[in-house]
Amino acid sequence: GESVGLHLPTLSVQEGDNSIINCAYSNSASDYFIWYKQESGKGPQFIIDIRSNMDKRQGQRVTVLLNKTVKHLSLQIAATQPGDSAVYFCAEANSNSGYALNFGKGTSLLVT
Partner 1 sequence: NAGVTQTPKFQVLKTGQSMTLQCAQDMNHNSMYWYRQDPGMGLRLIYYSASEGTTDKGEVPNGYNVSRLNKREFSLRLESAAPSQTSVYFCASSYRDTTNEQFFGPGTRLTVL
Rule CB under 8 A: is residue 23 a binding residue for partner 1?
no
| Pairing label, strands 4-5, 19-25 | antiparallel
Rule CB under 8 A: is residue 100 a binding residue for partner 1?
yes
Tell me the β-bridge partners of 58. 63
Rule CB under 8 A: is residue 89 a binding residue for partner 1?
yes
Q: Check: CB of residue 8 under 8 Å from CB of residue 107.
A: yes
Q: Please tell me the distance from the alpha carbon of residue 69 to that of residue 55, in angstroms, as a whole number.
A: 11
CB 76, min distance to partner 1, A: 20
Q: Which of 25, 64, 104, 109 binds partner 1 (CB under 8 A)?
A: 104
Phi then psi for residue 17, to 5 deg, are -75, 165
3-state secondary structure of 24: strand
Rule CB under 8 A: is residue 103 a binding residue for partner 1?
yes
Q: Which of 13, 22, 49, 52 binds partner 1 (CB under 8 A)?
A: 49
Q: How many CB atoms lie within 10 A of CB 1?
A: 5
Rule CB under 8 A: is residue 21 a binding residue for partner 1?
no
Comparison of 96 and 103: residue with beta carbon closer to partner 1: 103
Rule CB under 8 A: is residue 60 a binding residue for partner 1?
no
Q: Which of 11, 21, 34, 77 binds partner 1 (CB under 8 A)?
A: 34
